[in-house]
Amino acid sequence: MLQTRKCTNGVRIVTEQMPHIRSVAIGIWVKAGARNEAAGEAGMAHFIEHMLFKGTAVRTAKDIAEAIDRTGGEINAYTAMEETCFYVNVLAEDAPIAVDVLADMFFNSAFDEREMRKEKSVVLEEIAMVADTPDDDVHEQLQAAMYPGHPMGRPILGYPETVSSFTREETIGFMKREYQPERIVISAAGCLDEKLISRLEERFGTFTGGAAVPLPVERPAFTPGAVRKRKDTEQAHLCMGYPGMDVQDPDIYGLMILNALFGGSMSSRLFQRIREERGLAYSVYSYHSSYADSGSVTIYAGTSPARLEETRTVIGNEVSRLLRDGVSDTEIGSAVGLMKGSLLLGLESPASRMSRNAKNELFTGEHKDIDQVMDEFRRVDGKQIHRIAERVFSGPPAESIIIPN
């Protein structure tokens, strides 16, 4: 059973009880990520995510890790374009400890300058790791091609020069500015009781945000730009990007079906044509990314440099065939089955339900049950798919390519 409640300070708490589960997943979700950064702050949201694990007034970084490790649980975090999440998975009996640790990190992190210097070095290594991984780097380059000059065109990790420049005052200032109570959702799923929910309200329901006003968020304009890089790599890596849809677009369920049948599965058109029939690539797929006010559809393929142009041509031909001929009812039916299985299997764990509920509350404020979602998928037909395909694929794509030196 899913319940939502709003604390007096504006923090929302979303809980879902899962009978017969012995664990609990708890997450702090903040509607602030990389796109909330000014140009000189690139990487700040991600850096704060790291720093909240580096010690508080009463716990060292090791204390934080040990507090969860000794329960056999997991504590982690991630930063995205529009949100930052700190979460734990523990046995139900250890949930009070987990809540206390999360609250301590969230409210009492020391931002010790010595720890900041060390963590900057860690993040710089993380940036270098992405740069050394071309099938990751090519996606970051595509973001820059699609959204030049916009925060969504910058890497979530930031740049070496910006990360190196962060001061303690700037870091704390960003958190006070962007971590406002009305932007925060506490989500928990699993073996819950009222005592635990009350504990969450006590810890998170009374704090106030900083006086600074959050940075205005501008809607990104899609640009069919192009980026080409040379690296010491064996393969050529290709990404093509198209404008997508925001999370509340009426056609979003149709886009999910379109993506599934076009490049989102092993039976999809792109996989079958490029890998199975032509042997052009080991890895080829498509995916869509949806945000509060925009979205994108991305196609990726990794191939040999000698067959890069052939791969681009085949992808272009598949896009043209989609626009010209549409899709069959059989393809749509298979994609609906894929989405049903993916959705249901993905909700087997408390962590996945905690995440789903938090994102729904944070970005739409709407919680559709499984039957409602499946009804949306079943309503998708060939006419809608064709209309969506024309909307997404009619214009020229953005493109990023990484090729060997």
> In the block, which residue shows the tokens 């093509």?
240
Pick left, alpha or beta for residue 176 (phi over 0 → left; psi -120 to 50 → alpha; otherwise beta): alpha
Answer yes or no: are the C-beta atoms of 208 and 54 closer than 8 Å. no
Tens place of pLDDT per residue across the chain (405 aa): 899 999 999 999 999 999 899 999 999 999 999 999 999 999 999 999 999 999 999 999 999 999 999 999 999 999 999 999 999 999 999 999 999 999 999 999 999 999 999 999 999 999 999 999 999 999 999 999 999 999 999 999 999 999 999 999 999 999 999 999 999 999 999 999 999 999 999 999 999 987 778 989 999 999 999 999 999 999 999 999 999 999 999 999 999 999 999 999 999 999 999 999 999 999 999 999 999 999 999 999 999 999 999 999 999 999 999 999 999 999 999 999 999 999 999 899 999 999 999 999 999 999 999 999 999 999 999 999 999 999 999 999 999 999 998
Closest alpha carbon to 304 in 328, 330, 278: 278
In whole angstroms, what is the distance from residue 330 CA to residue 336 CA?
10
- Residue 31: both structure tokens together: 């509607």
In whole angstroms, what is the distance from residue 399 CA to residue 54 CA?
38
In whole angstroms, what is the distance from residue 139 CA to residue 134 CA?
9
Statement: the pTM of the whole predicted model exceeds 0.85: yes
In whole angstroms, what is the distance from residue 219 CA to residue 222 CA?
10
Q: What is the DSSP letter of 9?
A: T
- Residue 29: both structure tokens together: 């979700």
Look up 82 and say whether it is catalytic.
Answer: no
In whole angstroms, what is the distance from residue 33 CA to residue 80 CA?
6
- Spatial neighbors of 182 by CB under 8 A, at least 6 apart, are 10, 11
C-alpha distance from residue 399 to each of 67, 247, 362 (Å): 46, 23, 31
Answer yes or no: are the C-beta atoms of 64 and 105 closer than 8 Å. yes
User: Looking at this protein, which amino acid is placed at residue 130?
Assistant: V
Closest alpha carbon to 60 in 118, 121, 142: 118
- Residue 82: both structure tokens together: 């529009």
Of 41, 49, 115, 178, the active-site residue reads 49
The domains of the chain, with CATH numbers, are 2-204 (3.30.830.10), 226-404 (3.30.830.10)
Q: What is the pLDDT of residue 213?
A: 87
